[in-house]
Chains A and B, each alone.
Chain A
Amino acid sequence: MRQVLSVDSIHTFYGNIHALQGISLEVNEGEIVTLIGGNGAGKSTTLNTICGVVHAREGQVVFEGEDITTLPSHDIVLKGITQSPEGRRIFARLSVLENLTLGAYTRRDRAEFKRNLELVFELFPRLKERQTQFGGTLSGGEQQMLAIGRAMMAQPRLLLLDEPSMGLAPILVQEIFTIIDRLNREGTTILLVEQNAQIALSISDRGYVLQAGQIVLTGSGQELLTNPMVREAYLGEL
C-alpha cells in the first residue's frame, strides 16, 4: 500500500497552548482513517496543521513524499489536499454554484470542472436543485453536503473531513456517512475527524484516538469499536 500522508511527531502551539504534543499518524492510498477524541483533544488542530492553516513548531508533515510542513494553505490545496472544515464554513453570501466554483479555484481546466461538477451534483442532487441559492439559505445538512462537495471540486488526492455530522439529525448523519463511504469506495483517500465514533469507525479502515494532544490508541476500525476503553469513553457505554 502506498503511503499518501505521513505526519511525524508534530507539535503545534497557539501562543503558549501546546495543542499537539507529538502526533504521528499515516494515511495510505485508498484508506479512510478516523481520528476520534473528546472536545479540545486536538483533532481540528491536527487537520489544520496538515493543511497549513496553522504550522507545526516541530515535526514534519509529508504528503506523497514531499515535505509540506511549512507550506501556506493555498499551496497545499495545489498539492492535492482539501478540507471540509469544522462548522462547514460555507460562503453564505455566495451562491451554491459559486461555492462549488471556488472549491475548484486551483483547477483551471473547464472540461475537468464540468466533470467534477456533474460528479458532485450526482452525489448531492439537492445541491443541483439549489445551485442559484445563496449558501447561507441552505439547511444544516445541505450546507454539510456543500462543504463536502466544495472540497471534492478540486479532485483531491487526500480529503480531510472535520466533524461532518456536527449538529445534524440522525437520519442526515446516516445519509452523509453513506456518501462518505461511497466516496472512499470510488477511490478518494479520506482522513476523517468525528465525535460520533460509532458510525465513523464502522466505515473506517483504521483509527486513532486522541487525548490532550497525544495519540493514546490506534488500530483498525473494528478493533477500536470493540476496545473497552473506546467503548467506555467514546461510545457512551459503561
Chain B
Amino acid sequence: MAVETQTAPRGLRRRRIRPYQVVQIVVAVSITAFLLYRLQYVLFVDDLYGLDTWTRFLISGLVIGAVYAVIAIGYTLVYGILFMINFAHGEVMMLGAFAAYFVFEALGAIPAGAETSFLNTYPIISIILAFIAGMSVSTGMGLLLERVAYRPLRGGPRLVALISAIGASLFLQNAAQLMFSPRRRAFANPDFLSRGAGFEVMISGRPVLITYTGTFVFVGSLLLLALLYFIIQRTRFGQAVRAIAEDQEAAALMGINVDRVIAQTFALSGAMAGAAGVMWGLHNGIVYHFIGFLPGLKAFTAAVLGGIGNIPGAMVGGLVLGVVEALGPAFLGLDFQLKDVIAFSILVLVLVFRPSGILGEVVAEEKV
C-alpha cells in the first residue's frame, strides 16, 4: 500500500521514480537485451548444437521439472496454509528415497527361481512396495516435523518457524548421514526400468534416447499433480485447506478442526515429497544423505517462480524451471556446471521483479 505524505493537486502530481526502480529497469532492459542477443546468436550464428541435442536437453528438463513440480507442491501447500517455508521438505524427500532404496535392496536379495530375485520376478509389485514405503516414511516425517518443529511455534513470529525449519533440515541431513553413512549408494532398479535403457526417436537424422525411467517419472509426476489438484479442488479436505489458507478463524467457525487439517496438509505434502524421492532415485540412481538439498532448493525456487501458495503455479514453475535449467547453459553459452547458478539467479530475479510469481497474485494481500 502506498502511503503518501504530501498530496499535491491531482494532475499536478509528478510520478517520482525511486532510484531502486531505476536500477530495476536498467537490469531488466539489460537482461532482455542479452537474452535477445543470445537468441539470434543461437538461431542464426552458432550451430554447435543440432535440433536433436536441443530435444535431449528439453526432455531431460521436462523430466526433472516434473519432479520439481511434485516437490514444489509440498512447499506451496504448507506455505498456502501457514505462510511458512518448510525448509526441511527436501530432507523429507531424501528419506523417502532411502526407504525405497532399502525396499529394492531387500527385494533384490530375496531369491525367486534360479537366477533371479523377487525384484525382477515381480517388478510392478516391487515398485508399488517402494512407493508405499517411500511415501509412508515421508508422510510420517511430515507429520512429525509439524508436531515437533512447527506446531509449538505457531502464533509466534514467522521468522522463528523459519529458523526451526532450517534447523530441522540440518538435523535430518546429519541424522541420515549418521544412520546410513555418507556413502553414495546405487539405486537397484528392477531390470525393466534400468537406467539408460529406453526407446529412440530420430530427430533431424540422429537418434534421441527417451529413457524408460524418464518416461515413468514424467508420467508418474503428472498423475500425482492431477491427483493433488483433484484433492485440493474437489474434496471436502481440499475445501477445508483452502478455507484455512484464507482465514483460519473463520474456518474454525465452520467447524473445521484447523490443527487437524494442518497436520493432514503436512502429511499430504510429505507423501508428495516421498513419491518424488522414489522417482528421483529411480531416475538418477544415487542416494545419500545430501540428495534432498539441491532438489529441495530448486523446488522452492519453482514454487516461488510459479507464485508461492498457488498450486497450479507450483506445477508450472517446476516444469519451467526444469526446462530453463536444462536449456539455459547451452542457450547462454555457459558451462553446464552452471545450471544451478541459472536456477538460483531466476529465484533472485523473480523475487526482485515479480515476487508474486508467474501465476500468483500479489503476495502482500494483508496476510503478513
Contacts and interface: CB of A to CB of B under 8 A. Distances in A.
Given A91-B242, A102-B239, A105-B236, A73 B250 contact: no
Contacts of B240: 102, 105
B254 A102 contact: yes
Contacts of B246: 91-94
B239 A103 contact: no
B252 interface: yes
Contact of A74 (B236, B242, B256): B256
Contacts of A83: 253
A53 B249 contact: yes
Interface in B252-291: 252-258
B224 interface: no
Interface string B217-256: 0000000000000000000100110110011011111111
Contact of B252 (A74, A91, A103, A154): A74
A85 B242 CA distance: 19
Interface in A87-111: 89, 91-94, 98, 101-103, 105-106
Contacts of B250: 85, 89, 91
A82 interface: yes
Interface string B57-80: 000000000000000000000000
Contacts of A150: 254
Given A98-B239, A105-B236, A53 B256 contact: no
Q: For the complex, would chain B's binding face be called helix, strand, loop or mixed by DSSP majority?
A: helix
Name the interface size band of chain B: 10 to 19
A119 interface: no
Interface string A29-67: 000000000000000000000011100000000000000
B10 to A, nearest CB: 27
A144 B241 CA distance: 23
Contacts of B257: 72, 74
A103 B257 CA distance: 13
B240 to A, nearest CB: 7
A89 B246 CA distance: 9
Contact of B254 (A92, A93, A105): A105
Contacts of B251: 102
A78 B246 CA distance: 22
Nearest to A53: B249
Contacts of A85: 249-250, 253
B227 to A, nearest CB: 20
Given A89-B249, A89-B250, A105-B236, A94 B255 contact: no
A190 B246 CA distance: 27
Contacts of A106: 254-255
Given A53-B252, A53-B253, A89-B250, A74 B239 contact: no
Interface of B: 236, 239-240, 242-243, 246-247, 249-258
24 contacts: A53-B249, A53-B252, A53-B253, A72-B252, A72-B257, A73-B252, A74-B252, A77-B253, A78-B255, A82-B253, A85-B249, A85-B250, A89-B253, A91-B247, A92-B246, A93-B242, A94-B239, A102-B251, A105-B240, A105-B256, A106-B254, A106-B255, A150-B254, A154-B254
